[in-house]
Structures are given as structure tokens and as C-alpha cells.
Amino acid sequence: MNSLAILNFGEIRVTEDEQFSVFDTIRVIGGKKNPRDAWKALCEQYSEVVGKTDSYKFPGKGQQETPVANLENIFYIIGLLPGAVGHSYRETAAKEMCRKYGKAYEEVVTTIQQPLSTPSPKDIADAIAAVFSVVDDMDNKLVAGLIANEIGKAHPQLKPYMESAKSLLPSESEDEAMSVTVLARMYVKQTGLALSKNNTDHGNAVEMNKLLIEKGLQLKNPNLKSKKDGQPQYLPTESGKPYSKMVFQQGQDSNKTVQQLRWYPTVLKVLV
């Protein structure tokens, strides 16, 4: 059995056909005390890594079959490791690994990082536009706002420009769509009647949703499995569509973009 000593970082076992122990690599280059747990977590998060390894039983008492990978695939795995020990540590050890095998570090890294590269703003815009091109009644302003949000997430340096672009999108200032909470406030103010017993925003919003359902303007989304999956909680009926619109916004408990049904003030004519 061969092994590769990486300066003072440790040793990585190598097979006869020059495949490297994944566990040793995670321990030495990734700085992980429990490489098996780290490998399990990587497999759960990036299922494709399993296909980049083979199984091998190193000689020695009590040895079990462990995952091994060639130089290119081992660097792919290294690139996915979390930064607990710092990028500079991994890079130094990785360069030494390449040097001992006569490989150019930059060339190997470029090869394995290409599939993980961040999509360009144009790619993001084209992908989102393609999804919504099959939806007949989707508001172009909403799609443009979503594209700007996603570009800002993928390219943080562009976020200020995306926010400026969003501010220039046309707005419906005369009849702005509002959340059910704001709609409930307008209802209470116009009628002088509290929707809920405690007359709180939350309580009134809950009752307003019930009233909208009762009036045949909305229904609960039958496809909603979790509030965190990005789908709207309510959908407009055919009667409710002229008074409502679907918007995208950032979730309260995460950075995920979610959909929300909002209402124009004109719906009060139907509710009051």
C-alpha cells in the first residue's frame, strides 16, 4: 500500500492505480476529525459525489471497504468541503498534493469547478423567463422583480443595481395590491366593525381570509404541503381574479422567494 504525505498535514492512503482514500483526504485536507460523518453529510447534500468514487479495501487488520477517488474527483470532493479549517489551509495542502503528482493545481481546480460555477445574470434571467413563459396570466412586472431578486442573490455585487432596477418598474399607485392584513385594516376603518374579538392585526387577517373564502373570492391552495415550500397559501377563484394579483416576496423566516396573494382596494365593494 502506498501513502501520500502532505507536508505536516498528514498522510493519505493511495491505491495501486492511484486512487485516494476519501476518508483520509477529508481528515487531512478537510481538517475533519470524523471523516465518515463528513462524508455522509456530503453524500446527502450532493448525491452526485457517490458516482465519483469506487470502493476499496485497504490491506490491514480490521479494514473495511472505503470510498476512493482519482485525483480529479478527489479535488471535486475537496471543493465541496465546508470551510471549517479555512480555504487557505485546504488550498495549501491541495497544492502540495498536486505537486507530488506532477499536476498543475490551477488546471485541476478549473476542471472540477466548472460545473459548480455561478450562472451568469443572463442565464438566470433566461431560465426564470422560460419557466413563466407558459403561464398566460403572469404579471411581467412580477417576473422582472423575481429575476432581479435571484440575480442579486447569485451575484451580491450586483444587488444594489438590481434594487435600483426594481424601483423603476411600473407600479399601480392608484390601485396598489395589498396584503390581507392591510386589507383587513381598511375594512375595519371603512365599516367601523372589528373582524376578530381581540381586534388585532393577526386576528383580523385570519378572519379576513375566512371572509374572502365565504364570499367566493379565494380558496385554500390544495397543493400546499408546507408554508416553507414557496407556494401561496390561498388562490383566487375566477370571481376573485379581477380583484387580486399574485406577488413574489422574500419569506419571513428564510431567504427563499415565496408567493403571496394580494388584493386591490376595489375588493372592498364586494366585501362590505
Predicted local distance difference test score (pLDDT) of residue 206: 94
Could you tell me what percent of the chain has a pLDDT over 90? 20
Greater pLDDT, 111 or 143: 143
Mean pLDDT of 263-268: 92
Contact 48, 80 (CB under 8 A): no
Helix count and strand count (H, E) for the chain? 11, 9
Distance of alpha carbon 60 from alpha carbon 207, whole angstroms = 70
Give residue 47's Cα distance to chain centre: 16
Mean pLDDT of 204-229: 87
Q: In the predicted model, is pLDDT for residue 109 greater than 60? A: no
If you average pLDDT over every residue of the chain, what do you get?
A: 78
Predicted local distance difference test score (pLDDT) of residue 98: 67
Spans of all domains in the chain: 2-116, 118-170
Greater pLDDT, 202 or 171: 202
Distance of alpha carbon 234 from alpha carbon 169, whole angstroms = 26
Contact 84, 114 (CB under 8 A): no
Most confident of 134-143, 170-179, 259-268: 259-268
Please count the other Cβ atoms lying within 10 Å of the Cβ belonging to residue 101: 12
Predicted local distance difference test score (pLDDT) of residue 209: 95
pLDDT digits (tens, 9 = 90+) for 26-55: 888 777 778 899 899 888 888 888 888 999
Predicted local distance difference test score (pLDDT) of residue 268: 92
Torsion sign over Cα 205, 209, 211, 215: positive
